[in-house]
Structure 1
């Protein structure tokens, strides 16, 4: 009997280690699980307070340099899907082994699995207190962008670094020449360079076309400092708006806490009165007073932060009007 090879997108592993969620259809990777984390539709972080920025540009356009500056200046987390997939393969988990088996047969990492790995990394960064995300080199195709927004969250801004193919090739060749034989990237060879650049150009227009004013085109042939000044021009309103939203939410939470503590205290007083007790339990009053004071302090801090963020937004909007 002929021994047929399984399709490239089929998992060789059995079962699925991802937590079950109430979402169908079945796992697209054919792992026989009727529920799959790839279909989870709500992230465990708030994209309004932790904005998502896509960073696009051809190979050699300087994305890494600019992302490093943003990370240092604004406390964002820089995530590259290629690096995440390679790290996942190294872990040796079931998902990592599955990715290894697919890529060893010449297949590309399935989009649903890439998104699952990316979402995990973003949620881990949220736990560590990131202020936002720079998603480097993703999406590469139009349908990937739509699926990203469906399964992870809306993109707030797209930074597109534009440079001519000649400039990109020159930079990649310079990088290859500066590398030693041991660490030289295999794709830093002229033929593969041209293929990578051509592939990017072919797909990039369809990726950014649906996003209109969210796309900010930046001349990547300038000096790194001039490029970063332009990045800041587009990014700072996003940063200020996120700070405003977060401050308003923190203030609302603190005020809700104050109301709850006061209602609890009043309820305790009412119960004591009905029981004809002369005093309310001192521990209850002391604890409630302390909680109310802490909540009031948080509310004041959040209110001040919100006012500062509003002022910053107004300043940025005024600058924008003057430029126009």
Structure 2
């Protein structure tokens, strides 16, 4: 299964990605994780990316594509497919991904787009709390911890990320709408897009996803 998960910040991609990976036994390819792994291991690609990040610049599309497709060449992706999360971010990256897959005799099976209104996104983003110790994510309304301010999993302290305040959350949504939302039209024209109601309950949303994936 070769699938892409799209959706604005706060759409619930992380939660649904975990469920998809568990059910379908596919590698979860997160761009952020790939970047961190390459930088941590001191790879040539990681060093290049770090140079841009140190200057406060965006990593260029071609380098993002190179880092992402390098990961897709690993044995686990060749054998079991992948779930891409955070890549591609632009139509240009999507075109380069298509070229890469075609060159390797592959193609995308489905692109899942989690659709959520901006009002709901703002509630979700500003209510998120993250564990300082293990990174587990909660929400003061939708997924509250058993004990306020304490992680259920490890007992760590929960905090609100700086990018989860109202102003920053609105900016993140605006950036997504400008840069990444055009991918919806791109993949719809390609005939592989599945629009999913990301504002439904967790189970309802996952049921829609599995139906779109053919189960």
TM range (shorter): 0.7 to 0.9
Q: Contact (CA 8 Å) 1:61, 1:163: kept in 2 or not? A: yes
Shift of the 204–97 alpha-carbon distance from structure 1 to 2, 3 Å rule, reads closer
CA distance in 2, matches of 1:183, 1:77: 29
TM superposition shift of 1:95: 2.5
SS at match of 1:158: strand
> Structure 1 residue 100 and structure 2 residue 64: aligned?
no
Which residue of structure 1 lines up, in the alignment, with residue 176 of structure 2? 200
> Structure 1 residue 75 and structure 2 residue 25: aligned?
yes
Q: Contact (CA 8 Å) 2:5, 2:113: kept in 1 or not? A: yes
SS at match of 2:127: helix
TM superposition shift of 1:229: 0.7
Which residue of structure 2 lines up, in the alignment, with residue 143 of structure 1? 92
Larger radius of gyration, structure 1 or 2? 1
Which residue of structure 2 lines up, in the alignment, with residue 225 of structure 1? 203
CA distance in 1, matches of 2:16, 2:124: 15
More strand by share: 2
TM superposition shift of 1:123: 2.4
More helix by share: 1
Deviations 1:4-48 (A, max 9, x none): xxxxxxxxxxxxxxxxxxxxxxxxxxxxxxxxxxxxxxxxxxxxx
CA distance in 1, matches of 2:181, 2:46: 32
TM-score, normalised to structure 2, is 0.77
Shift of the 181–109 alpha-carbon distance from structure 1 to 2, 3 Å rule, reads farther
Corresponding residue to 2:71 among 107, 121, 134: 121
Q: CA RMSD in A?
A: 2.3
CA distance in 1, matches of 2:23, 2:88: 24
Figure out how many residues of one structure are paired with residues of the other and give that number. Answer: 186
Shift of the 222–182 alpha-carbon distance from structure 1 to 2, 3 Å rule, reads closer
TM superposition shift of 1:122: 2.1
CA distance in 2, matches of 1:157, 1:215: 6
SS at match of 2:195: strand
Which residue of structure 1 lines up, in the alignment, with residue 108 of structure 2? 155
TM superposition shift of 1:152: 3.6
CA distance in 2, matches of 1:104, 1:146: 28
Q: Contact (CA 8 Å) 2:28, 2:83: kept in 1 or not? A: yes
Q: Which runs of no fewer than 5 residues in structure 1 stay unpaired?
A: 1-50, 238-324
- Identify which of structures 1 and 2 has the higher relative contact order when contacts are C-alpha pairs closer than 8 Å and 6+ apart: 2
1:297-316 → structure 2 map (5 Å cutoff): none
Which residue of structure 2 lines up, in the alignment, with residue 173 of structure 1? 126
TM superposition shift of 1:76: 1.1
Which residue of structure 1 lines up, in the alignment, with residue 194 of structure 2? 216
List 4+ stretches of structure 1 deviating above 4 A.
177-184
Q: Contact (CA 8 Å) 1:57, 1:137: kept in 2 or not? A: no
CA distance in 2, matches of 1:208, 1:92: 34
CA distance in 2, matches of 1:98, 1:217: 36
Deviations 1:68-105 (A, max 9, x none): 11111111111111221122112223322221111111
